[in-house]
Amino acid sequence: MAINITKRHAFIVTMISLVFLVQNIRAQRQSFFVAPQVTDPAITTNLSGHYVSIDRSVPQKSQLFVFFPGTHGIAANYEVLNNVVAEMGFHAINLTYPNDEAVNSLCGGTSTDLDCYANVRLEILDGTDRTPLVNVNRANSAENRIIKLLIHLRNQYPNDNWGQFLIDDSTINWSKIIVSGHSQGGGHAGILGRYHPVVRVVMFAAMDYNGPARSPANWIAHPEMTPNASSADKFWGFSHMRDEAVNFTLLTTRIYPAYGMPQYGDVVNVDGISPPYGNTHSLTSNLDGCPSFHGCIAVDSGLVYENGVPVYKPVWEYLLSNTVSPLSLSAIQFLRATQPVGRPPVGISTKYYRIQVVGNGFDSGSRVLVNGVETETTFVSSSELQASLPAGRVGRVGGSTIQVRGQTGAVSNNLTF
């Protein structure tokens, strides 16, 4: 009998230990690979697995970090950066996509075609035929890969809310996405910022510069030729001063100014100092000991460690700091049809009016509350919402309040009207 009790006790202890182990695993960062063809059988090229991370033990930022590897690179080459990002509270994806040829090689040489760079990049990203220099269809495009991966993750891990990064099953919710990349991938991040209103663009050692024309690509130098969807404050960059592939002088004197980055501070060398690096958007290093100066700022095989920690970890964390703007209201404006008007007189019916709310930190799930009651809301941008007014008549001046509730449940300050 004593033996049976002992065995039963051991079994119970083992089972309890396993439960705690499973709970602990679930509470920490989870990282894994997903084969592109598993998400969509129509994907037939560049089949190395996407790398995905999420850390359920930290507060989630409800933002997705999408990282594009450099030429010939795969998602597995940048695991350490991805892990750090996930541990900050971001959903994180390193994407495998068509990157077999360098964009600057395809559009360089003796060519002076400054539109070539955008044509190549956009075909890789969305699969629309724009140039004979690459051959990427919609299924193999980066955008389709992101969409199909998010659908797969949404279905496999419903509690992790991967679906928030899609508007529908064919449209990415760019307003919740940080685009980043290294080398060629950094250029893809940059052009996505020109074409979509993203949370942030973080570029590692990336530029499109045409030597014969002595000019950046048109999509960089002439934002008016693109939708110019993300403002200059969204662009951030980091490159080594002795980068073998990216000319540091051209990068910092021709490329960064074209993005508008110098207005947020001079180029700051991060060596030996701690964040916030003067709050600049333009960072560099002159660190010795790198196997490759081009790769050591982001590529796993090139990272330099100090006391077991990547020396550039504080830089990565700084580049992704303060991406979630505090939810706040600064002004309201009444609209009749689409025209701004003054405050409607007391007693006027509200059915002819809408209200424009200006502030910070809005997302596609934000809702305007009038006197505490949620009203029909249209998301315009992270700084603007428009909403209907509740049925009835406008009350006395200063007698009503406007507030915004975000998708995560955060609430803003009140404004009165």
Task: Going from the first residue of the chain to its last (417 residues), give the mean pLDDT of each consecutive group of 10, the final group possibly shorter.
Answer: 42 39 56 98 98 94 96 98 97 98 94 97 98 98 98 97 95 95 98 96 98 97 96 97 97 98 97 96 96 97 96 98 86 88 86 90 88 91 89 84 83 87
- φ and ψ of 250, to 5 deg: -65, -40
Of the residues 286, 319, 352, the one at which a domain ends: 319
Q: How many domains does the structure of the chain reveal?
A: 2
Cis link prior to 197 (omega < 30° from 0)?
no
Domain membership flag for residue 356: yes
Q: What CATH number is attached to the domain comprising 292?
A: 3.40.50
Same domain, 214 and 345: no
Domain that holds residue 371: 328-416
d(CA 365, CA 374): 12
In a domain, 4, yes or no: no
Domain stop point among 319, 344, 359? 319
Query: Which pLDDT belongs to residue 279?
Result: 96
**Tokens 């994407």 sit on residue:** 95
Structure tokens at 413: 């300050």
Distance CA 299, CA 289 (A): 14
The answer as to whether 25 is a domain residue is: no
The alpha carbon of residue 54 and the mean position of all alpha carbons in its chain are separated, in whole angstroms, by 15
pTM: 0.79
Are 262 and 404 in the same domain? no
pLDDT of residue 417: 87
Find where tokens 């990336």 sit.
206
Q: Is residue 212 part of a domain?
A: yes
| CA atoms of 237 and 281, how far apart (whole Å) | 6
Say yes or no: 295 and 355 in one domain: no
Say if 223 falls within a structural domain.
Answer: yes
Which of 396, 392, 361 lies closest to 375, judged by CA? 392
Domain C-terminal end among 278, 298, 319: 319
Cα–Cα separations (whole angstroms), residue 124 to 14, 102, 392: 51, 12, 52
Per-residue model confidence (pLDDT) at position 2: 38
- Per DSSP, the three-state class of 86 is helix
pLDDT score recorded for residue 345: 85
In this structure, the answer to whether residues 310 and 343 fall within a common structural domain is no
